[in-house]
Structure formats: C-alpha cells, structure tokens
A and B are shown apart, each in its own frame.
Chain A
Amino acid sequence: DIQMTQSPSSVSASVGDRVTITCRASQGISSWLAWYQQKPGKAPKLLIYAASSLQSGVPSRFSGSGSGTDFTLTISSLQPEDFATYYCQQANSFPVFGPGTKVDIK
C-alpha cells in the first residue's frame, strides 16, 4: 500500500507569510495528488487536484507542485481564513490521505 507523509505536522505563521507544506508518497504516484483544507467542525474542501490544478473558486494564492513522490502546497500570502488543517490525498491505488498539517497563528 502507498503511504503518505506530510511535513511539518504543524506550522505557526503570521498573516502575509508564505507557507509551504510538503507531502511525500512511499512510491511514485505520477501527478495523482489532491490537497484539501479543513476547518474545525467542517468538511474538507478541495483546493488542488492533479498536483497543480486549482479547483474552481479557490483563491490563486494557493498553488501546488510536484510529481512522482514529492509534492508541495504553497500559500503565497497567508490570510486569516487560511488557518486550518491541510491534507494531501493520493489516488494511485485506493484513496489514502496524509496525516495533515495544521497551520495556526503565530
């Protein structure tokens, strides 16, 4: 089975900061990777699919990159509404989510 790891597990940042989250797959998954944002008490929200395609309606400050085993989610200028937990998800075999990265206020 393909395992997913994320780093860091948590990050403290300020409004306006650039934040980068890394997701690594235990084996190559081409570009079959999605990123989700989850706020407390809410369902996850799709941000990015196919590693770098921005879901409709998602602000352009979110971007994704990578292929194979290493992927990144970047928030170019952190906004107050971006404080949340972010999950990656591979779909090369059955869906597997990463453990999550919590972005909180510094």
Chain B
Amino acid sequence: QVQLQESGPGLVKPSETLSLTCAVSGYSISSGYYWGWIRQPPGKGLEWIGSIYHSGSTYYNPSLKSRVTISVDTSKNQFSLKLSSVTAADTAVYYCARGAPYYYGSGNYYFDYWGQGTLVTVSS
C-alpha cells in the first residue's frame, strides 16, 4: 500500500522560505510516476504547485514557478518542496501526492495517492 506523509514547519515568517518533505512508503520513487505538491488555502479549492518525474524532471505551475523548487532524494525515498518569499497568501494545507500517467510516457496524469496534508501558516 502506497503511503505519503508530509512533514515540515507549521509556521513560516513572511519573506522566508517554506520547506516541506514528503516521505513515501510502499513504492520506490525512482521506479516511476510523478510526485507532486498541491495546496489548498483555508476554505478554498485545490491548486497544483508542481511535480517531479521519477527521472528528476520538474514541472511547475507557471503562477508559482519563480518561487518553487521541487527535488527528490531517492536514497530516503522522499521528495521536497521549497517555496521562497512567502506571504500570507501562501497559507494553506499542503498535500503531496503521486501522479499516475494515463499511459506510459504521458505528461498527463491524475493523483491516485495523497498524503494527509499539513497546514502551513505564514505569519510573523
């Protein structure tokens, strides 16, 4: 059974960098799939932040691209998110999820396994 678990600080100061890690169990990240981050501001909808392919290629939401870095540590079977220069608008529940391609080599995917989510509040 694939499981994902987010971890990281729950409070980040404005202008600083938000850093989260997603630990994956039950599947080796290096074996395939996309590995993504999605966020949800309180009371609002879902926003894709970015994904990393098992090969290491990264894909980011154009609206966040200048501030986002996603990386993978295959030795620990985990991947990470860094979001720089945060403001109150970045306050949200952050989810990590596995992206399943519709077919082999496809850039189109859906999210079949999700972490439970972690609330990150940006405040001084």
> Is the pair A92, B108 in contact by a Cβ cutoff of 8 Å?
yes
Q: Which of B46-80 contact A (CB under 8 A)?
A: 46-48, 51, 59, 61-62
Q: How many residues of B contact A (CB 8 A)?
A: 24
* Range class of the A interface residue count: 20 to 34
- In the complex, 13 of the A-B residue pairs with CB atoms within 8 angstroms, ordered by the A residue number, are A1-B62, A32-B102, A34-B110, A34-B111, A43-B97, A46-B110, A49-B102, A91-B102, A94-B62, A95-B111, A97-B45, A97-B47, A99-B45
Contacts of B38 in A (CB 8 A): 95, 97
A interface, over-half SS: loop
Question: How many A-B Cβ pairs are below 8 Å?
Answer: 59
> Is the pair A95, B36 in contact by a Cβ cutoff of 8 Å?
yes
Contacts of A32 in B (CB 8 A): 102, 108
Contacts of A55 in B (CB 8 A): 112
A44 at interface, CB cutoff 8 A: yes
> Is the pair B110, A94 in contact by a Cβ cutoff of 8 Å?
no
A43 contact from B61, B95, B102, Cβ within 8 A: B95
